[in-house]
Structure 1
Amino acid sequence: MIRFQFVDDHRNTHEVKRMCSVLGIQRSSFYKWRASRPARAARQAADDALCERIEHHFEFWDHTYGYRRITAELADDPHVDEPVNRKRVARPMRNNGMVGIHLRKPKTTTISDPDVSIRWCERH
Structure 2
Amino acid sequence: MRHHPPFPFAIWRFTTEDVELGGVTIPKDATVLLSLAAANRDPRVFADADAVCPHRQNEPTHLAFGSGVHRCVGAWLARLELSVALPALFRRFPRLSLATPADELVWTSMVFDRRLESLPVWLDGRPR
Q: What TM-score, normalized to structure 1?
A: 0.28
* Structure whose CA Rg is larger: 1
Q: What TM-score, normalized to structure 2?
A: 0.28
Q: Relative to total residues, which structure has the larger helix share, 1 or 2? A: 1
Q: Relative to total residues, which structure has the larger strand share, 1 or 2? A: 2
